[in-house]
Amino acid sequence: MDEATIKQYYRDYVIGCYSKEDFVFVRGRGPWLWDINGKKYLDFFPGWAVSGLGHCPDDVVKAIIRQVKTLMHVANNYYIDVQAVCAKKLIEISFDGKVFFCNSGAEANEAAIKLCRLYGSKTGRYKIISMKNSFHGRTLATVTMTGQEKYSAPFVPLPDGFAYAEFNSIDSLKSCVDEKTVAVIIEPVQGEGGINVADREYLVALRKFCDENDLLLVFDEVQTGMGRTGHWFAFQHYGVTPDIMTLAKTLGGGFPIGAMVAKRSIADLMVPGTHASTFGGNPLACSAALAVMNTIEKQNLLENVNTLSQWFIPELRKLQKKFSVIKEIRGIGFMLGMELNVSGKSFVERCRKNGLLLNCTHDTVVRIMPPLGIKKSLLKKGLKIISTSLKEEFAS
């Protein structure tokens, strides 16, 4: 089908809730994407961080093919072998607890909200404090929990029981807590909110405050998780373990799957009848997630992120010295943001024209999130395009 027809079908038949870039991508491999005209792009924002291992990673493709021929789906009222193995593996790389499987980040956060409310029900507490500028999903509860009014305002009345604290401020958090508060949720590095990194002292103080006040601490690692920051999970940089963690995006390497990991005693509050998801953790999705975890291990991808980011971040800082339009370089590992003094929209478009795909969030923050296994030569190539595009766009 030709490009014009595809776009026509979109206009006629697909609900227009996404703003569209003018591209039809038809093939991907590793850090590369090809559009319908055969032009090749280096992808440093693969699938909104879903394709964290790059496009169509070999071992994930193989695992999916093997599983699709064996058993695609059985429901959760039966035991599923690959789900059992996948859960064990997730616990081994995170913290002692249990896993609930679902299909997306929002659904994982919904599960976390429900689990927090179950925990609070014995003491009549239900309120959850999230952070300003956070992002937790688009369902009615998660969009309410998202600390950005622009996303939830059109959908009033919103569910009750949410409040918003300033990121990185323990005082602000304390001022939000009352006798109804049961939990605090935070992204250790805010993604959509503009790559804002939590301070170590803050997260340590937050953990302590939650312990002292019987509040659950929830980390939304939907974007930071699965190696993005150079550890399996961002919490491992801080030595601060949450009570509940939510995952999605890279977890399935391109296949839809989400998960909530909860400490054992809390997890056991969920009993038959309290929560469910028809597709959650089906054999196909779990085979993909298991292959993602095995690939990260086998190919030493965490080490790759740590080594290459130690080269890449200083290189970006050098660009900051050269181009006064760059206000700040932020992030950990391969979760990076380049904040500009101006809107980043035309810069990101310029990069695209030059063959590099990036993302712009909060108008001025350019998100740079290369696939975990990228080679140094291609990282250099991406950097060169960033540098050239800065020159073209902001030449003084």
> What tokens were used for 210?
């939650």
393 binds ligand PLP per the rule CB under 6 A: no
Site for ligand PLP in 133-162 (CB under 6 A): 135-137
3-class SS of residue 354: coil
191 binds ligand PLP per the rule CB under 6 A: yes
* Segment holding 367, helix H or strand E: strand 365-368
DSSP per-residue codes, 211-229: HHTT-EEEEE-TTTTTTTT
Site for ligand PLP in 77-116 (CB under 6 A): 104-106, 109
331 binds ligand PLP per the rule CB under 6 A: no
Residue whose CB is nearest to ligand PLP in the complex, by number: 105
In sequence order, the β-bridge partners of residue 196 are 190
| Distance, CA of 248 to CA of 271 (rounded, Å) | 23
Contact (Cβ atoms closer than 8 angstroms) between residue 62 and residue 291: yes
Q: Which residue has the tokens 């959760």?
A: 76
* Segment holding 43, helix H or strand E: strand 40-43
Q: Which amino acid is at 173?
A: L
Residue whose CB is less far from ligand PLP, 67 or 103: 103
Q: Which of 110, 187, 243, 393 binds ligand PLP (CB under 6 A)?
A: 187
Smallest separation (angstroms) from ligand PLP to the CB of 127? 20
Residue whose CB is less far from ligand PLP, 145 or 290: 145
> What tokens were used for 361?
């969030």
Site for ligand PLP in 202-221 (CB under 6 A): 220
Smallest separation (angstroms) from ligand PLP to the CB of 190? 8
Rg (CA), the chain: 21
Smallest separation (angstroms) from ligand PLP to the CB of 342? 25
Q: Which residue has the tokens 């056991």?
A: 268
Smallest separation (angstroms) from ligand PLP to the CB of 170? 21
Q: Pattern 233-272, binding to ligand PLP, x per CB under 6 A?
A: ---------------xx-----------------------
Residues near ligand PLP (CB under 6 A): 104-106, 109, 135-137, 187, 191-192, 220, 222-223, 248-249
